[in-house]
Amino acid sequence: MNDFNISKNFKLREFACKDGSNLVKVDKNLLNRLQALRDRIKKPIIITSGYRTESHNRKVGGSKNSQHLYGKAADIKVSGMTPQTLLKHAEAVGFTGIGLYKWGIHVDVRKNRARW
């Protein structure tokens, strides 16, 4: 289900909620920036969390106004690349929201700049 390309390197299913519902929302700006990031680093990007339903967002401890709820965010990692290096590339392609974690980074396309 949802197993079709929505850009050169991403399939719709990669953004689906991980609660088993297969519900999905993907903001076009998020997709375009992720594709720009993929083109820049020339390595596959693993999306560990894309769209989240409200109940799944609560279950995983997401913030009440999480950009994941609107299909405007993704948690990502790249095999063989440190989160710090990935963050620098995410900055370069223009993500407005970026969070750094041990496992990877959160990127989003919110209106105002945010870093954590």
What pLDDT digit, counting tens, does each position of 87-106 carry?
999 999 999 999 999 999 99
How much is the mean pLDDT over the chain?
97
Phi first, then psi, for residue 37 (nearest 5°) are: -65, -45
Q: Please state which CATH number belongs to domain 12-115.
A: 3.30.1380.10
Q: Please state, in angstroms and rounded to a whole number, the distance separating the CA atoms of residues 55 and 61.
A: 10
Asked if the model's pLDDT at residue 2 lies above 90, the reply is no
Average pLDDT over every residue of 55-80: 97
What pLDDT is attached to residue 34? 98
Q: Please state, in angstroms and rounded to a whole number, the distance separating the CA atoms of residues 80 and 63.
A: 29
CA–chain centroid gap for 102, Å, is 16
pLDDT above 70 as % of the chain: 100
Say what the pTM is.
Answer: 0.95
Residues in a beta bridge with 97: 108, 114
Average pLDDT over every residue of 22-29: 96
